[in-house]
Amino acid sequence: QKEVEQNSGPLSVPEGAIASLNCTYSDRGSQSFFWYRQYSGKSPELIMFIYSNGDKEDGRFTAQLNKASQYVSLLIRDSQPSDSATYLCALRFSGGYNKLIFGAGTRLAVHP
Amino acid sequence: EAQVTQNPRYLITVTGKKLTVTCSQNMNHEYMSWYRQDPGLGLRQIYYSMNVEVTDKGDVPEGYKVSRKEKRNFPLILESPSPNQTSLYFCASSLVPGGLYNEQFFGPGTRLTVL
């Protein structure tokens, strides 16, 4: 079992819709969770961070965390073509020094 | 501008020819790390450094070396590259970790092809 699992996609949504990206993880000791966005050929950039159960909103982005179910999600409201990218879920591994474990990413395609 | 830089950005080389990929950050970060990214596998940590002169293996260290003689620089060395090291490499840095949040900032990436 991979430590961080994501559906590779592509997830295709129309412009203006809500995109829902999901991630499950196996490390029950993890406390911090991150969503990175990566455009094709570019480096990952952090868009959301969450450590408490529940929802965290930042503009059009909402991160959701459920530690009991070991589940993290990212919602993108009013999706735009510029949101088309690969979204990487990551957690700060409880057994390592500042170690991030990444999922393989979900490719999102927002079509006009 | 706060940033992580890597050089070269693109490199095509042949099996066995030693190479070094440089990484430098200007944010006075203690922690630096190298990742490789392969399709379907995501980012995997190669080596990391907690501070100057302190480095340790990540998940896929075989075939790589690193050094951390100065806080700002963290070069990745491939002594004898092989085709299975063809990948996209990222350097990242962050402040000394404390608490729950510690963003890692990534360099622009180095695309390496070993023939």
- Tens of pLDDT, residues A37-80: 999 989 999 999 999 999 999 999 999 999 999 999 999 999 99
The distance from CA A12 to its chain's CA centroid, rounded to whole angstroms, is: 16
Contact at CB, B94 and A98, closer than 8 angstroms: yes
Coil, strand, or helix at residue A14? strand
Tell me which residue in B35, B90, B97 faces A98 most closely, judged by beta carbons: B97
Which residues in chain B have their CB less than 8 angstroms from residue A25's CB? Answer: none
Q: Which of A43, A46, A90 sits opposite B109 (nearest CB)?
A: A43
What pLDDT shows up at residue A10?
A: 93
**Which pLDDT belongs to residue B13?**
96
Q: Maximum distance among all alpha carbons in chain A?
A: 43
Q: Quote the pLDDT of residue A109.
A: 97
| Residue A33 tokens, joined | 């969770």
For a pLDDT cut of 70, what percent of chain A falls above it? 96
What whole-number distance in Å separates Cα of residue B68 and Cα of residue B48? 10
The conformational region for residue B79 under phi > 0 = left, psi -120 to 50 = alpha, else beta, is alpha
**pLDDT of residue A96 exceeding 80:** no
Q: What is the pLDDT of residue A54?
A: 95
User: Per-residue DSSP letters for A59-98?
Assistant: TTEEEEEETTTTEEEEEESS--GGG-EEEEEEEE-TTSSS
* Low pLDDT (below 50) residues in chain B: none
**Cα separation, A60 vs B87, whole angstroms:** 33
